[in-house]
Amino acid sequence: MIQFLNYAVPGVPFGCVFALMAVGLVLTYKASGVFNLAFGAQAFVSALAYVSLIQDGWPRWAAGVIAVLVIGPVVGVLLDRLLFRRIRTASPLVKLVPSLGLLVALPQAALMIAGAAPTIPPPAIVGNAQAVYVHLGSIPLSGLELSISASTVIVVLGLVVLFRFTPVGLEMRAVVESPRMTELAGVNSGRVSAFAWILSSVMAALAGVLLAPLYSQLDPQNFTVLLVWGVAGAVIGRFASLPLAFVGGLGLGVAQEVIAGYLPAGVIANGLRPSLPFVVLLVFLPFVRQRQIEDPLAGCDPPPTALEGTATGYRAASTLTATAGRVSAVGVWHGRLARTGPDRAPGLLARRPTATLAWAVAIIAGVSAVTWIPPDWLLTMTQGIAFAVIFLSLTLLTGMTGQISLCQASFAGLGGFMAGQLANNFGLPVGLGMVAGGLLAALLGVVVAVPTLHLAGLPLALATLAFALLADNVLFPNSWIGNGAGGVTVPRPSAGPVSFAAPKPFFLLSVVVLAISAGVVKLVADGTMGRYLAAIRGSELASSAVGIDVYRLRILVFALSAALAGVGGALYGTLEGSLSPDDFNYQISAVLLVVVAIVGLGSIAGAVVSGVVYATLQQAVTTLPGRFAGLVAVLFGLATLSYTRHPEGFLDYLGARTQQVVARRRSRTPAGGRGGSPPVDAAVAGLAGAATSGGSAPVGDGT
Amino acid sequence: MTVPGPQLLVASGITKRFGGVLALDSVSLDVAAGESVGIVGPNGAGKTTLFNCLLGLEVPDAGSVTFGGRRIDRMPVWRRSRLGIGRTFQRMELFEGMTVADHLLVAEQATSGTVRIWRDFLHRGGPTPGELHHVEEVLDLLGLADLAARPVDTLDLGHARLVELGRAMMGAPRLLMLDEPSSGLDTEDTGRLVGILNETRRSTGVAVILVEHDLSLVGAAVDRLYVLNFGKVLAAGPVDEVMGDPEVRRAYLGSTG
């Protein structure tokens, strides 16, 4: 028993912090419908402010008060007003992307404002963090443990008082229960939700300030990693119950220390601890009522008003793919039929005006690359192509299927590491190693897909996020995979006498790899599988009712997407010559999704442009002073603001605008009215054409 | 109306609990090949649960379901569909963004189960002429030919219901299960639906299970009627006979006026 306590007590401060995070997450989720993944970033911002102020000579208590009670709420209110309030009823992807963007962007923005990370080790608010003050039996309690536990008790008491005895607390409980009903009862739920944001932001700030002394140096990573524990706590609370979320967070904190204590040190303990959130998510997510996740604002749903309600209102808010659906209406991912009739969905273009432009740009860029572009920029372009292959994996998985994955970088990393390992240890040619890396990544994709088959939308995103962390902590440190901090060298490929070591041949090789990857995505999109995937995205229920084996297809798509990511990662690896686990950690996964969502998930062009823009921006930033190292993350974080207005992505938005302009110009010129030509002939002709011509059917408009 | 053929679907002793609620209490039901059977009952009687148990969306706690002589109660939904059970949904479940013709084509290909996805990678994943022919046939039958290329999001409810019906009819099913197909439709649309349904039955000999509130539709489209109440079969038999049953009138008709 004493031994158990010896292990458990050090877990309590962690548990308290996890519990604060879990409660804060549930609070904003229920009150505003957004699962705020930027929570960890908010914690970091306050911790940074706290330590910076102390370094500037402020007393510790004053710095703490400013960081927790001023900076925290201000950030929270700004996020609510500028961003999250506007996306309350958007699709899961649209809700997720901004908070992911902020998760990465906020810490970088704060560091840029602060100038540099503080150099002093973060002190505790009161007392000495490391000094032992009391003994509980034989267990020593340090100042840090005492202060964290005491602060948490105070917060919990405050919450109890607030919810039990104050009017605003009562209103908040009501809003958490059912925002719609509360609004009907005359409560301004916007005001209440703003209050919830303030409250949860204070908790984020407090968690950050309390936690800071645990680390010798402030690093955003430490804080965002903790977020996943908070997420696991929130899932234990079923996204709904504050007390359960609190108990869940506390329990996880204790459990991770106990696991680490009892199990022999080494791989098992080191592996089990970080994998705990993933396991918890997999075990508890199925217990969360799907409705609650999809639409937390649906405490009392109005009865479905037949199609109108199903097609636009409730479903638009609840299907994970409302956006992707719209994207598809604009774009590529339909059977050939969709493009043949003249009477199309609004904005659906038979031939996008941007497609020709994109081809022209691509050809000019390609020719320039092998003629006059200086070598370092050629390198950047090649990086862009490698990233484009990875982005294509998201186009396939998220754009076409609507499944949100936050572990694509893990797949890419595995592909890259394996290509290198096979070349170094077994002398396998790197070209084959890339293929093998892709296959192994596909295998990992199946490993991820099978336990998450029943998940969609936000739960799937969270489970894959937890898996990415698991990969970072358990897979990549192994010497035979990522080799930890040492990384893995990946030689350049050669084919017989032809070596791809020089920049130009390698660029051409990359273009070929990209073309093959794009071809695969295109074939899937245009074929039967694309049609099935569109059906599954529309309604999983109806898809299985017409005989589609939904689970098998999901596994297949996950594997295919992982393979693409793996090949892209291997390509990036041979380009750079070596890979380290940090090149493909969970944050990169988040950044990848944010970037391609902003540029456009609906087309192959979107992936290519994403790759080139991402690589170019990163290269451009290296020419700026070191202070602006995080500028790319900040830029994409800011771009999420416009993303919430144009969730179809920048490229498709551009295409639609161009189309509008063209249409307006055309309508001015007198022309024969576009009377109702019989669409069925065109449709059936299109069907027949597709059937008979088989391989030679027009490939369509993707670029 | 039709001469009952051999037993097609036989459900016996279906029992389903949700926590403490006994949603279905040993319900038995059978449908002969080509027969049309209605299931009616007040709200909460267990109609939808029974429907879901037959289709595989719920796993019954006890009881068995056979289709064409085969046990199907452990089969996944998609496998039952490939055996020849088509269904529609009370709350529309269309493939948002896809065209009318694509809906039918997907159903035709998926139901047959003969599509090989790897053919996509050889760019040979297109539909076969036979599949396209079936799509055209059903489009004509439903009178949807003019709307074939329209995305379903732009259809009105009446046509959307027809698309659901058409999707369920692809792949020549032996049994159509319709979940309140008239909900939200006006009398004219309902009349058209009954016409199409009866026409389909005459031409293909498909059996039908109809869960319905609209008694005029039930009367016009159904040979036999099951009345459910509190998870039990209250009465079963030819429509006129069941409607005349005083107990049924009290439990069902009385409660709805």
Give the DSSP per-residue string, A311-379: IIIHHHHHSTTHHHHHHHHHSS-S-THHHH-SSPPTT--SS-HHHHHHHHHHHHHHHHHHHT--HHHHH
pLDDT given for residue A374 in this prediction = 79
DSSP, res B126: S
End-to-end distance of chain B based on CA atoms, in angstroms? 29
Separation in Å, CA of B162 to nearest CA in chain A: 12
- Which candidate from B78, B150, B155 shows the least CB-CB separation from A547? B78
Q: How large is the C-alpha radius of gyration of chain A?
A: 26
pLDDT given for residue B5 in this prediction = 61
End-to-end distance of chain A based on CA atoms, in angstroms? 65
- Which candidate from B79, B106, B125 shows the least CB-CB separation from A527? B125
pLDDT given for residue A674 in this prediction = 44
Given B142, B171, B200, which residue is the final one in a domain? B171
Given B171, B203, B234, which residue is the final one in a domain? B171
Examine the domain organization and report whether B244 and B127 are in the same domain. Answer: no
CATH label of the domain that carries residue B63: 3.40.50.300
Examine the domain organization and report whether B79 and B184 are in the same domain. Answer: yes
Q: Which residues have CB under 8 Å from A154's CB, separation 6+?
A: none
* Inter-chain CB proximity B153 and A311 less than 8 Å: yes
B148 falls within a domain: yes
Phi-psi region of B98 (alpha: psi -120 to 50; beta: other; left: phi over 0): beta
Question: Tokens 């005001």 sit at which residue?
Answer: A191
Separation in Å, CA of A169 to nearest CA in chain B: 33
Q: C-alpha distances in angstroms, B246 versus A592, B43, B44, B213, B243?
A: 67, 19, 20, 19, 8
* Inter-chain CB proximity A539 and B110 less than 8 Å: no
* Inter-chain CB proximity A537 and B96 less than 8 Å: yes
Question: Tokens 């704060």 sit at which residue?
Answer: A110
Examine the domain organization and report whether B182 and B147 are in the same domain. Answer: no
Q: To probe the interface with B, which of A301, A320, A560, A680 has the most B CB atoms within 10 Å?
A: A680
* Inter-chain CB proximity A307 and B160 less than 8 Å: yes
Nearest Cα neighbor of A538 from A367, A322, A341, A340 is A322
DSSP, res A272: H
How many domains does one find in chain B? Answer: 2
pLDDT given for residue A202 in this prediction = 92
CATH 1.10.3470 is held by the domain A380-654:
yes
Domain ranges of chain A: 15-230, 380-654
- Rounded to an integer, what distance in angstroms lies between the CA atom of residue A475 and that of residue A387? 22
CB atoms within 10 A of CB A159: 18
pLDDT given for residue A505 in this prediction = 85
**A531 contacts chain B (CB < 8 A):** yes
Examine the domain organization and report whether B177 and B236 are in the same domain. Answer: yes
B89 falls within a domain: no
**A352 contacts chain B (CB < 8 A):** no
B72-110 residue pLDDT tens: 988 899 999 999 999 998 888 899 888 899 999 999 988
Q: What is the pTM for the complete model shown?
A: 0.83
Examine the domain organization and report whether B178 and B200 are in the same domain. Answer: yes
- A642 neighbors A99 (Cβ within 8 angstroms): no
Q: Which residues have CB under 8 Å from A316's CB, separation 6+?
A: A89, A91, A322
Q: C-alpha distances in angstroms, A183 versus A178, A179, A186, A318, A671?
A: 9, 6, 5, 20, 52
* Inter-chain CB proximity A306 and B136 less than 8 Å: no
Please, which residues 503-522 of chain A have a Cβ atom closer than 8 Å to chain B? 520
Task: Give the residue with greater pLDDT, B91 vs B67.
Answer: B67
* Inter-chain CB proximity A531 and B89 less than 8 Å: no
Examine the domain organization and report whether B67 and B133 are in the same domain. Answer: no
Examine the domain organization and report whether B79 and B179 are in the same domain. Answer: yes
**B82 contacts chain A (CB < 8 A):** yes
For residue A140, give the 3-state DSSP assignment: strand
pLDDT given for residue A347 in this prediction = 28
Nearest Cα neighbor of A231 from A212, A210, A218, A248 is A248
**A303 contacts chain B (CB < 8 A):** no
* Inter-chain CB proximity A544 and B81 less than 8 Å: yes
* Inter-chain CB proximity A338 and B115 less than 8 Å: no
- Rounded to an integer, what distance in angstroms lies between the CA atom of residue A200 and that of residue A155? 11
The token pair at B215 is 């008694």
* Inter-chain CB proximity B149 and A337 less than 8 Å: yes
Given B171, B189, B209, which residue is the final one in a domain? B171
B110 falls within a domain: yes
B94 chain-A contacts, CB cut-off 8 A: 311, 538-539, 542
Examine the domain organization and report whether B257 and B177 are in the same domain. Answer: yes
The token pair at B251 is 């439990």
pLDDT given for residue A679 in this prediction = 44
Could you say which residues of chain A have pLDDT below 50? Answer: 291-351, 671-703
CB atoms within 10 A of CB A298: 18
pLDDT given for residue A270 in this prediction = 66
The token pair at A552 is 């098998």
For residue A495, give the 3-state DSSP assignment: strand
Q: How large is the C-alpha radius of gyration of chain B?
A: 19
B202 falls within a domain: yes
Examine the domain organization and report whether B257 and B183 are in the same domain. Answer: yes
* Inter-chain CB proximity A549 and B151 less than 8 Å: no
Nearest Cα neighbor of B31 from B236, B247, B193 is B236
- Rounded to an integer, what distance in angstroms lies between the CA atom of residue A701 and that of residue A356? 9
Examine the domain organization and report whether B191 and B143 are in the same domain. Answer: no
Q: C-alpha distances in angstroms, B43 versus A435, A495, B256?
A: 58, 71, 10
pLDDT given for residue A121 in this prediction = 78
Separation in Å, CA of A488 to nearest CA in chain B: 33
The token pair at A635 is 């830029």
CB atoms within 10 A of CB B19: 6
pLDDT given for residue B168 in this prediction = 92
* Inter-chain CB proximity A334 and B109 less than 8 Å: no
Please, which residues 174-213 of chain A have a Cβ atom closer than 8 Å to chain B? none
Mean pLDDT (chain A) is 78
- Rounded to an integer, what distance in angstroms lies between the CA atom of residue A343 and that of residue A491? 53
The token pair at A506 is 């390698």
- Which candidate from B94, B119, B149 shows the least CB-CB separation from A538? B94
DSSP, res A397: I
- A349 neighbors A659 (Cβ within 8 angstroms): yes
Examine the domain organization and report whether B62 and B76 are in the same domain. Answer: yes
pLDDT given for residue A464 in this prediction = 92
**A337 contacts chain B (CB < 8 A):** yes
* Inter-chain CB proximity B132 and A520 less than 8 Å: no
Count of alpha carbons within 13 Å of B71, Cβ hemisphere only? Answer: 4
Examine the domain organization and report whether B184 and B124 are in the same domain. Answer: no
pLDDT given for residue B203 in this prediction = 87
Mean pLDDT (chain B) is 85
Range of the domain at B50: 1-84+173-257
B179 falls within a domain: yes
B192-246 residue pLDDT tens: 888 888 888 888 889 999 998 777 788 888 889 898 888 888 888 888 888 778 8
In this structure, are strands A494-495 and A132-136 parallel, antiparallel, or unpaired? unpaired
Q: C-alpha distances in angstroms, B195 versus A244, A487, B148?
A: 55, 70, 20
Minimum Cα–Cα distance from B57: chain A residue: A541
- For residues A370, A373, A376, A380, the Cα torsion angle rounded to the nearest 10 degrees is -70
Does residue B256 surpass a pLDDT of 70?
Answer: no
The size of the A-B interface in CB pairs under 8 A is: 228
* Inter-chain CB proximity A537 and B120 less than 8 Å: no
Tell me the one-letter amino acid at A482. G
